[in-house]
Structure 1
Amino acid sequence: MNKELMTGLIPLFAVIIASYPLGRHLANVYTGEKNWMSFMSPIERFIYKLAGIDPKEEMTWKHFLRSLLICNLFWFFWGILLLLIQGILPLNPDGNSGQSLHLALNTCVSFLVNANLQHYSGESGVTYFSQLFVIMLFQFLAAATGMAAMAGIMKAMLTKCGKTIGNFWVYLVSSITRVLLPLTLIMACFLILDGVPMTFEGKKEVTTLEGNKQFISQGPVAAIVAIKQLGTNGGGFYGANAAHPLENPTFLSNTVSCMSMLLLPMSFVFALGFYLKKKKFAFSVFTVMLVALIIGIAVTVSTERLGNPNISFMGIDQSGGAMEGKESRLGASATAQWSAITTATSNGSVNGMHDSMMPLSGLVTLLNMQVNSWFGGVGVGFMNYYVFIIIAVFISGLMVGRTPEFLGKKIEAKEMKIAIMLALLHPFLILTSVAVTSWMIVRNPELSAQWLANPSFHGFTEILYEYTSSAANNGSGFEGLKDSSIYWNISCAIVLAASRFLSIGGQIAIAGLLAGKQFIPESVGTLKTDTSTFALMTFVVILIIAALSFFPVLTLGPLAEYVTIK
């Protein structure tokens, strides 16, 4: 009982407490105020000088977005090249070969967009060199890109009337040097002390209790696991991800990992309040996200603890819950909680097989990613929520006969059109991809055996989960799906890239357009956006849009499966 309590409430409250001062630190970093990491200034100035960056330059939203896209495009080609030739590069003690072009394409896109959807197994699919100079590098860059975009949007929201939203390069560099790097070092040290490997040696030969020889993969695991959790990346060093005992060795490492997934997404909501000097608004947003997260955790934990009714009559002991696809050292509750947190934060790491979860648990993980606004990825979690705020402001204004304004800026047709397109982009990418893939399987039934591990409703859910995870930049999967093929690599890469960069582009555009408008002082007719009523309105808008978009397809997948096994 104490173990389950520790799995749930204590770590959650601890990370909420820790995220408040970290939120203040984030606000100080992006406002340029002196903070406890200011000693990194000489290193940052050296980077700016080396790269030819003027740190005092202010960018319009178009210049800001162009810089973001150019940065990611450069590293995309860097990653493709290294993954193709990794077999002849150093730090390859296990002799792993280079990836195919379509797999390298999928890997690079996936890690650049902060999804880390892995269509390869880490032990054999990449080398130590690629783990460090592609995988880990991209985990820093992808997280910092989202953080820089969020910093630009915060600057735009604070601006009374101006056309600039800050400097992308400064935000990117400071996100790494003053936030991600120190936090990663701290967590990596903890993981090493807890038994996670940090070495450049190759596979280690051991003799099992049965007397057999077995080769155990190792490598620079601790550093990569640390940034994968803190940066809401999720890509595992091993194919089994955090279910692997060398990546997540103890119940303590499991608990700290769950906390680290939430730390920065929660902190950014508080940072928004400090940056805008509107703590009440930030608390209302935080409350909505937290309530949704707790509901998801409660449903998954209770469902997995109940066990599988289909095997209850067999006399199988299910006192520990539904244990298929779960590690016995962690248990059903810890795995269920992880699944809710990793999908709510767009992290994507897994410590159990989501494909083995009960239908209602699978439904929660899908809904978390389909809503994609409950804390979400680092930085971009609030950015997705920001779109729904714009829609909620406009609808609320029409309902009560007040001018739709947000933070002193009038919401007009142009911003609403972009917001609606962004709200519809997410379901469009998911549902279109699922429809095309399902049509292909119906036309050619042999594809079902080649791609899916399960028939009927569960097999359909495998397809739905893959594209939902891609569109939400999550990266977890119903790993019964056989996704390492040209079709899945290319189709998922398209969804990954479109969902990331079209969304960020639209969100920055809305913020930039609003920043350039004349500030309207608050009056009696101003719609209050920092009240519990407006918070509830935003929550309802999000649920309605998600329900209307995804309820039919969820009915064909997890809901239909739930009815059949209940």
Structure 2
Amino acid sequence: MTIEGWTLILLFTALTIALAKPVGVFLFALYEGRSTPLHPVLGPVERGFYRLAGVRPDAEQSWRAYALHMLLFQLVLTVFTYALLRLQAVLPLNPRGLAAVGPDGAMNTAIAFVTNTNWQWYAGEGTLSNLSQMVALTIHNFLSAATGIAIAFALFRGFARREAGTIGNFWADCTRVTLYLLLPACVIYALFLVASGVPQTLASSIDATTLEGAKQTLILGPVASQEAIKMLGTNGGGFFNANSAHPFENPTALTNLVQMLSIFAIGSGLTWCFGKAVGNTRQGWAILAAMMVLFLTGAGIAYWQEAAGNPVLHNLGVAGGNMEGKEVRFGIAASALFSVVTTAASCGAVNAMHDSFTALGGVIPLFNMQLGEIVVGGVGAGIYGFLLFALLAVFIAGLMVGRTPEYVGKKIEAREVKLAVLAIAVLPLCILGFTAISAVLPAGLAGPLNKGPHGFTEILYAYSSGTGNNGSAFAGLTAGTPFYNGLLGIAMWIGRFFMIVPALAIAGSLAAKKYTPETAGSFPTTGPLWIGLLVAIILIVGGLTFLPGLALGPIADHLAMISGRLF
């Protein structure tokens, strides 16, 4: 470990915290439907869309109507994407003449991008045409991110409103987030990437002469536009198979830092927005503080383990940290930090191969996903997932002080706790259930590259990534088979919508409640005690649930490594 490495981690954390309020201020304007500096230019576009679509933005919806409209929208997008991928061979903007995507692969990819997972069983540059990259993928990067933020806004209204029967309008929320936030930010972001050396062209390839005098064909395409929303919307699906380890996606140390910051920017801003929505910004800062405690702990462990390296190689005379699977232009610290950032959020972009991490270094990305990626989390998904844990924490705190649990002025009763538990229980049911199935069936056992604990970790990581809507891979699993495409597709759909619907139901239940003023007997939810309780509940729930699976995989792998055995 080096001073430079720790400085990078602390600098990144400080910049993330510094971005929370300015980003949160803009998000709060969208949450309230107020005018922004972009409204004079984009306002007519918004109103034109409403007229064309027959949407009344001022017509608010109950939580059931909000959920129904959202689910129908996702279903239509899934069918549209599936059809486009199946017809790729006969559609335009296919300069390399790529074949249509197979039925199971198209289904898996359609679900992956609609759910903001962006799981990629394929090599993008060799499987998808420019049209598929731009329409089947990039468009959904915007819409899935906007959907997550819209759900967060709906839950905020549940906490903020009093004796109300509505939680907003899904179409208005989704439109405003896309039009005023994601699109303008990504235009600026893409221009920065182009200036940094990222391609943005409809050309298919270019031939280059190597130093040895040979010819090498370099694949090109509309990379910068996809890269921008891939990061800002915590999507993670790269134009190239190597993702952000590819120099055409992530060419410099500066782009690497900016990409990491863009992954966290909206998620951290939503914490401030939540505090503002409920009338107490200290509530938002408390949530962000708990997130940063978890994040810094994970980043520190990952960096420590990767910098320590592999003792088996040390005994063979190979000194230094673990550089296997990492880009030299980034090094150990930036690679370890990126792995924690991308899995603490539901991004899934990678600048190093997680399969090549040390056993305990790889535990942190895996555990981040198993917690539901609530440590800042995906855009919208992180904050509403975190608030589910907050409801459990305040319920336990209420039992401690012998009062009905209260959070930001709302009594938390049996209905809200049951719905929160239902949403949180989705993660272990899918992750552990599908892992168990894949670890015993021949079709599942055919996937891992490695045997023993590391091979088991490859399976466990895949379902943790799919259910958590992350999309990163451990890189050793052959997942492009009907078996894995099918099960991972189901895991992604359940992991997204079986958490969103209970969250909306909680929003509807809370919105109908009266405001309960804080008293001397209320448990404080803004101080260090509350932050510590939040962190403890999250770690205890995650630890008790997933420790057996982690013991069979990465922990067993680590014990074997320190004893001198490699699988």
TM-score (ref. length: structure 2):
0.96
Q: Could you tell me which residue of structure 2 aligns to residue 104 of structure 1?
A: 106
CA contact (8 A) 1:12 1:259 kept: no
**Which has the higher mean CA deviation after the structures are superposed, 464-473 or 91-100?**
91-100
Q: Could you tell me which residue of structure 2 aligns to residue 412 of structure 1?
A: 413
Residue 323 (1) aligns with residue 323 (2): yes
Cα–Cα, structure 1 residues 364 and 154, in superposed 2: closer, same or farther, change >3 Å? same
CA contact (8 A) 1:269 1:282 kept: yes
Q: What is the identity, as a one-letter code, of the residue corresponding to 2:437? A: V
Separation of aligned partners in 1, 2:166 and 2:531: 29
CA contact (8 A) 1:281 1:531 kept: no
Q: What is the deviation of 1:3?
A: 5.4
CA contact (8 A) 2:13 2:292 kept: no
Q: What is the identity, as a one-letter code, of the residue corresponding to 2:461? A: Y
5 Å-filtered alignment, 1:420-439, equals 420-439=421-440
Separation of aligned partners in 2, 1:105 and 1:323: 36
Separation of aligned partners in 2, 1:313 and 1:230: 43
Separation of aligned partners in 2, 1:369 and 1:16: 22
Secondary structure in 2 aligned to 1:451?
A: coil
Equivalent residue in structure 1 for 2:510, among 514, 525, 536: 514
Q: What CA deviation, in whole Å up to 9, does each residue of 1:19-69 have, x standing for no partner?
A: 311101100111122222222211100111111100110110000011110
Q: Could you tell me which residue of structure 2 aligns to residue 348 of structure 1?
A: 348
CA contact (8 A) 1:7 1:255 kept: no
Separation of aligned partners in 2, 1:529 and 1:548: 25
CA contact (8 A) 1:152 1:508 kept: yes
Q: What CA deviation, in whole Å up to 9, does each residue of 1:79-104 have, x standing for no partner?
A: 01100011111111111111001100
Separation of aligned partners in 2, 1:68 and 1:243: 34
Q: What is the identity, as a one-letter code, of the residue corresponding to 1:48? A: Y
Separation of aligned partners in 1, 2:15 and 2:408: 31
Secondary structure in 2 aligned to 1:482?
A: coil
Q: What is the identity, as a one-letter code, of the residue corresponding to 1:114? A: N
Q: Could you tell me which residue of structure 1 aligns to residue 143 of structure 2?
A: 141
Secondary structure in 1 aligned to 2:419?
A: helix
CA contact (8 A) 2:404 2:413 kept: no
Residue 221 (1) aligns with residue 223 (2): yes
Equivalent residue in structure 1 for 2:520, among 515, 521, 524: 524
Q: What is the deviation of 1:150?
A: 0.5
**Which has the higher mean CA deviation after the structures are superposed, 89-98 or 339-348?**
89-98
Determine what percentage of the aligned residue pairs are the same residue.
38
5 Å-filtered alignment, 1:216-295, equals 216-295=218-297
Q: Could you tell me which residue of structure 2 aligns to residue 383 of structure 1?
A: 384
CA contact (8 A) 2:401 2:521 kept: no
Separation of aligned partners in 2, 1:528 and 1:510: 21
Q: What CA deviation, in whole Å up to 9, does each residue of 1:194-218 have, x standing for no partner?
A: 0000000011112211222211101
Q: Could you tell me which residue of structure 1 aligns to residue 31 of structure 2?
A: 30
Equivalent residue in structure 2 for 1:504, among 478, 497, 500: 500
Separation of aligned partners in 2, 1:552 and 1:245: 38
CA contact (8 A) 1:110 1:117 kept: yes
CA contact (8 A) 2:313 2:319 kept: no
Q: What is the deviation of 1:395?
A: 1.4
**Which has the higher mean CA deviation after the structures are superposed, 90-99 or 337-346?**
90-99
CA contact (8 A) 1:194 1:253 kept: yes
Secondary structure in 2 aligned to 1:439?
A: coil
Secondary structure in 1 aligned to 2:421?
A: helix
Separation of aligned partners in 2, 1:292 and 1:391: 17
Q: Could you tell me which residue of structure 2 aligns to residue 553 of structure 1?
A: 549
CA contact (8 A) 1:136 1:224 kept: yes
**Which has the higher mean CA deviation after the structures are superposed, 223-232 or 411-420?**
411-420
Q: Could you tell me which residue of structure 2 aligns to residue 483 of structure 1?
A: 479
TM-score (ref. length: structure 1):
0.97
**Which has the higher mean CA deviation after the structures are superposed, 150-159 or 191-200?**
150-159
Residue 17 (1) aligns with residue 26 (2): no
CA contact (8 A) 2:243 2:249 kept: yes
Separation of aligned partners in 2, 1:200 and 1:550: 45
Q: What is the deviation of 1:346?
A: 1.0
Q: Could you tell me which residue of structure 2 aligns to residue 455 of structure 1?
A: 451
**Which has the higher mean CA deviation after the structures are superposed, 328-337 or 43-52?**
328-337
Q: What CA deviation, in whole Å up to 9, does each residue of 1:524-552 have, x standing for no partner?
A: 33333223212221211111111110001
**Which has the higher mean CA deviation after the structures are superposed, 41-50 or 411-420?**
411-420
Q: Could you tell me which residue of structure 1 aligns to residue 133 of structure 2?
A: 131
CA contact (8 A) 1:405 1:411 kept: yes
Separation of aligned partners in 2, 1:34 and 1:253: 32
Give unmatched runs, 5+ long, in structure 1.
none
CA contact (8 A) 1:403 1:527 kept: no
Secondary structure in 2 aligned to 1:424?
A: helix
Separation of aligned partners in 2, 1:540 and 1:479: 31
Q: What is the deviation of 1:2?
A: 7.5
Separation of aligned partners in 2, 1:387 and 1:282: 14
CA contact (8 A) 2:20 2:271 kept: no
